[in-house]
């Protein structure tokens, strides 16, 4: 909320440092937010619901999140073109509302005053939304935990001590380390795709700024559906490695299709391919959280998912910077082929993970008296 308030005052070419300050504050908040779904699901839901609950929480995060680093007004250079507008849909956010609202609110123009006029209500909307969500949901309605643990695993999960010692133990778990790297690669590639989507689309379809935003919106909405579907499958099958590997390979396949589909110069095919890509790549997010929880039980889910998010941010920076350089120097095909290669590497890493479902084993133990399994 504080970061959003700061950015309300940043919409002017000479206030880049204000934008940067507000974005830093908002980015820090992710440390406390992004790891919530896995922990929330484990605390409140039983063994046949936990993956679906994590998926729903993750999909809600994708629907409204607007914390992708902005491309602010430069200090000394003008706005060059609509494709590099500081409020272009893919530069501004990877949440679906972030793809949808900026093109509708902010004019597609090189006039800084017009962009500022449109940008002010955009930032103000964020501030009001953050303010309302914080007070009404977190302070008024949210409870720490249910009166009775929902499963034997939740009851017997031990306090693993300090966070530092928990991290050390996780780094000694080779299967988790493989998942940590492969998760970062997959999600980092998705960050690069969403960040550079506007430039790629406008290169092949000049003037289609609104459709670039709609493609981004479709990617996120399809990903929300993918998250729920994959979570449901995990709850029904408990085939964590199989589901994870399948999603990973399909992400690579549709990334390859996304790479070449622009050569056909047919916009509706781009929509279809991008939607399928989003279904699998975003659908991977809760699957990774849940697989990590299985591999690392009884470590706290917040620790394992927090490290996954840190890995995603690291690889996101790498993939976006490398892709951006390739896009400028060699074009979008070279940039997208790089992401195909890194997804292939991630698929191989995922295939090397030994499926050790510790939390599932704890679920199968006889529940102590007083625990009512969630059905």
Peptide bond into 298 cis (omega under 30): yes
pLDDT at res. 9: 79
185-196 core/surface letters (b: 16 or more CB in 10 A; e: else): bbbbbbbbbbbb
**C-beta separation of 170 from 307 below 8 A:** yes
**C-beta separation of 279 from 226 below 8 A:** yes
Token pair recorded at residue 345: 């590497």
Distance CA(86)–CA(119), nearest Å, equals 9
Contact residues for 266 (Cβ-Cβ < 8 A; gap 6+): none
Mark residue 371 as left, alpha or beta (left: phi above 0; alpha: psi -120 to 50; beta: remaining): beta
pLDDT at res. 207: 84
Token pair recorded at residue 366: 């006889």
Q: Which CATH architecture has domain 163-365?
A: Up-down Bundle (1.20)
Distance CA(30)–CA(34), nearest Å, equals 6
pLDDT at res. 310: 87
Written as tens digits, the pLDDT of the chain (375 aa) is 788 888 877 777 778 888 889 888 887 877 677 767 767 776 777 666 766 776 677 666 655 443 343 333 333 333 333 333 333 333 334 444 555 555 555 555 555 555 555 455 555 555 555 555 555 556 666 777 777 766 655 556 555 566 778 788 889 999 999 999 999 999 999 999 988 998 899 999 998 888 888 898 898 889 888 888 888 888 788 888 999 999 999 999 999 999 999 999 899 999 999 999 999 998 888 888 888 888 888 887 778 888 888 898 899 999 999 999 999 999 999 999 999 999 999 999 999 999 888 777 776 765 544 454 444
Among 49, 71, 84, CA closest to 286: 49
Contact residues for 19 (Cβ-Cβ < 8 A; gap 6+): 7, 10, 70, 72, 73
82 to each of 45, 91, 199, 330, 362, how far by Cα in Å? Answer: 46, 12, 9, 21, 55
For the stretch 198-254, pLDDT in tens is 889 999 999 888 888 889 889 888 988 888 888 888 878 888 899 999 999 999 999
Contact residues for 316 (Cβ-Cβ < 8 A; gap 6+): 184, 187, 188, 191, 192
DSSP state of 373: -
Helix, strand, coil percent content, the chain, rounded in steps of 5 = 75, 0, 25
* DSSP assignment of 3-55: HHHHHHTT-STT-HHHHHHHHHHHHHHHHHHTTHHHHHHHHH--TTTHHHHHH
Give the number of C-alpha atoms closer than 13 A to the C-alpha of residue 301, restricted to the C-beta side. 27
**C-beta separation of 68 from 93 below 8 A:** yes
Angle between helix 96-105 and 50-64 (nearest 10): 10
Q: Where in the chain is the domain with CATH 1.20.1250.20?
A: 163-365
């Amino acid at each position: 909320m504080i970061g959003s308030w700061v950015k309300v005052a940043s919409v002017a070419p000479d206030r880049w440092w204000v934008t940067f300050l507000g974005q830093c504050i908002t980015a820090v908040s992710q440390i406390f937010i992004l790891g919530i779904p896995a922990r929330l699901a484990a605390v409140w839901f039983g063994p046949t619901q936990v993956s679906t609950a994590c998926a729903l929480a993750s999909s809600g995060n994708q629907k409204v999140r607007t914390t992708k680093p902005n491309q602010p007004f430069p200090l000394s250079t003008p706005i060059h073109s609509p494709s590099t507008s500081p409020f272009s849909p893919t530069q501004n956010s990877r949440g679906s509302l972030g793809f949808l609202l900026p093109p509708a609110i902010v004019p597609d123009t090189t006039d800084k005053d017009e962009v500022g006029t449109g940008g002010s209500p955009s930032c103000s909307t964020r501030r009001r939304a953050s303010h309302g969500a914080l007070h009404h949901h977190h302070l008024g309605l949210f409870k720490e935990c249910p009166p009775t643990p929902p499963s034997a695993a939740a009851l017997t999960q031990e306090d693993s001590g300090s966070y530092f010692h928990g991290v050390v133990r996780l780094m000694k778990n080779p299967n988790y380390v493989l998942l940590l790297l492969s998760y970062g690669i997959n999600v980092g590639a998705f960050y690069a795709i969403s960040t550079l989507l506007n430039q790629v689309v406008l290169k092949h379809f000049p003037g289609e700024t609104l459709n670039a935003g709609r493609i981004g919106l479709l990617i996120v909405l399809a990903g929300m559906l993918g998250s729920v579907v994959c979570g449901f499958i995990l709850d029904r099958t408990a085939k964590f490695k199989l589901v994870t590997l399948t999603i990973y390979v399909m992400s690579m396949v549709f990334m390859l299709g996304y790479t070449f589909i622009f050569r056909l110069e047919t916009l509706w095919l781009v929509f279809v391919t991008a939607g399928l890509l989003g279904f699998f790549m975003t659908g991977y997010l809760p699957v990774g959280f849940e697989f990590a929880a299985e591999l690392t039980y009884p470590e706290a889910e917040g620790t394992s998912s927090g490290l996954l998010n840190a890995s995603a941010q690291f690889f996101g920076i790498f993939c976006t910077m490398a892709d951006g350089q390739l896009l400028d120097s060699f074009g979008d095909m070279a940039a997208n082929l790089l992401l195909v290669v890194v997804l292939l590497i991630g698929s191989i890493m995922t295939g090397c993970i030994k499926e050790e479902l510790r939390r599932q084993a704890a679920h199968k133990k006889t529940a102590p008296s007083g625990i009512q399994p969630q059905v």
